[in-house]
Every structure is written in C-alpha cells, then in structure tokens.
Amino acid sequence: MYFPRMNIEQAKSIPIDELLLRLGYAPSRKSHEQFWYLSPLRTESTPSFKVNPNMNSWYDFGTGEGGDIIDLVQKLDGLGSVSDTLARIEGIVGSAQLPVRTRSVTRSIETSPAMELTHIGPVKAKSLQAYLRNRGIEPNIVTPYLREAYYRRDDDSYFALAFENNSGGFELRNSQFKGTLGSKDISTIVGDPSRVMVFEGFFDFLSSVMMNDGLPEATIIVLNSVSMREKAIQEIRNLKPRLIELYRDNDSAGEQLVDYFLKALPDIEVIDKSELYAGNDDLNEWYSSRGKTKATLAR
C-alpha cells in the first residue's frame, strides 16, 4: 500500500515482519506465531530479535530495547524525528502492496472483558523494584526480560511486573498478586539449542541471570505453570538438544514433572537440578536466602 503523506497510524498498520522482509531481513525461526531474527540492529550469531505479529511489536533481547515500527526504523537509520521516520517508512514501502495489519494489543492479550492491558513499558515503579530486590533480583540486570504492565480489572487499575510468554500474554507479579493476562503459555528465549534450561517460574529464570551475570548460554524455556509441560516437550523435540536441565519446584508436582520429562524424552539427557537448592521451595528462594552469593549454573 502506498501512502503519499503517511501519518503515524498508517505507519503502525504496516506489519513489521513485512517491512523487515522488504529490507532484506528474513526470520531465522518461527515459534508460536512469533518471528525470531538475527538482530538487524547489531551483529550476532544466535537469533535474539523477536517480532510479535499479533501486537505488531519488536523486542531485542540483546539490548533490552523494543517498540513499534516507528521505534524500529528510527533505530535502524539513526533518525531523530518522527516526520523523518515516516518519510523513511514511506520510502521503504514505496508502491509495494504490503498487507495492512490492524494493531489490537488489548484484544489480543485480555483474559476477559473485566481485565485488559492499558500500558506496558520499562520497570520504573519503586515498589516493583523493591519487590525484585526483596527476592534477590537487581532490576538493572534483568531489564531485558521484564516489563511493567498497567492493567484494568472491572473499574480498578493495577500495575505489576510482566513477563511475556510465547502467545503474547503476560505473567503478572507484584507483592500482592500472581496471575496471567492473556493466554497461558510457555516463554522461550532462544540460545544454544544443544542445551535447554527449563524453569517452572520466571523468578527462577531471573535468578539464573543473576547467578551468571547475564543470560546463560542455553535456550531458556519457562513453563509458567506445570500444566504447560506438554508445550515445553513439543518445543524441546523441535530443538533436539543433547541436554536438558530441569529447575523444578521441590514439591510433589515438581517430582511428577521430572518423571514426565524422563518418559517423554528418553533419548535426551534430562538432569534434575533441584539438588542444588535442596531444602528450599525453588531456585529463587534458595538464591535470595543466600544473600545473592555468587554461583554458576554452567555445567
């Protein structure tokens, strides 16, 4: 579609994945209706740049930056003004008949008419930062993996930490609330496919980031619920790793999870890592109780 005088809403209706293809960037992998690219913003060997076509948004896990199509083109070309960016987008699109995708962020990630996302951005609320620190997590270190979500339920507004899953939904946490906004799903962060680290919850994953001073060199799968175990198995079968490290909770459900993985993946080495934090409910409880003692999850 060609817009002789493109405005912001017209630009945002252009699918980011189609624009990237026009620029010569093809996705390296598609997973759960999301596209993974080698980042167009920097040099890398493992895809860590994600495009969510449902929300028509992008996120670069390597830099912790993300946004809409205008933010992306500004970053790509180092543009300072919105008007220059719109002109650049118009130049990229030209007369090509790109499909127009209507953005419907709220509709795509709402659980019911009574609960909807109203805003999402960087973690800035002091109460949420304090909540992270109380659980042994330094906000500045985990910035690439967390957002701050404002949402409405009935007539009241709330805010919480938000951890995105593969369906574009969010796991929400604050000191008073634990829930999911949108569809329940696993969360995958692409890394070395030969080694997969599976965590029950995202605070366990964040603990691993703290322990390693950054993202472990592995593909990460966060279950977000033991009920998502079959989705994780399907993802792992596609990856065909040589090793799976399972960071499960120390409870009966966690024990059943180990058995499930061993039976479902007989040809892959599955290591139950719960002995590391024996006597604690999970990895995060163990890590936070140790006063952020340095450790490593490298094998």
Taking the whole predicted model, whether its pTM rises above 0.75 is answered as no
Q: What are the angstrom distances between the C-alpha of 146 and each of 161, 165, 170, 173, 246?
A: 7, 11, 10, 11, 22
In 38-183, DSSP assigns E strands to 49-52, 57-60, 65-67, 115-121, 147-153, 156-164, 170-174, 177-181
Instruction: Name the pairing type of β-strands 115-121 and 147-153.
Output: antiparallel
CB atoms within 10 A of CB 99: 9
Tokens of 80: 């300072």
- Band (pLDDT 50/70/90 cuts) for residue 165 is very high
| pLDDT confidence bin for 211, thresholds 50/70/90 | very high
Whole-angstrom distance, CA of residue 244 vs CA of residue 71: 36
Tell me the per-residue pLDDT of 105-150, one tens digit each, with 9 for 90 and over: 433 333 334 468 888 889 999 999 999 999 999 999 998 899 999 9
Q: Please tell me the least confidently modeled range out of 21-35, 156-170, 192-206, 232-246.
A: 21-35
pLDDT at 137: 95
Q: What angle do CA 292, 294, 299 make, to 5 degrees?
A: 130
Q: Which amino acid is at 74?
A: Q
Q: Are 157 and 177 in contact (CB under 8 A)?
A: no
Q: How far apart are CA 206 and CA 3, in angstroms?
A: 44
C-beta of residue 288 within 8 angstroms of C-beta of residue 136: yes
Residue 112: predicted pLDDT: 38
pLDDT tens digits for range 22-46: 888 888 888 767 888 888 988 877 7
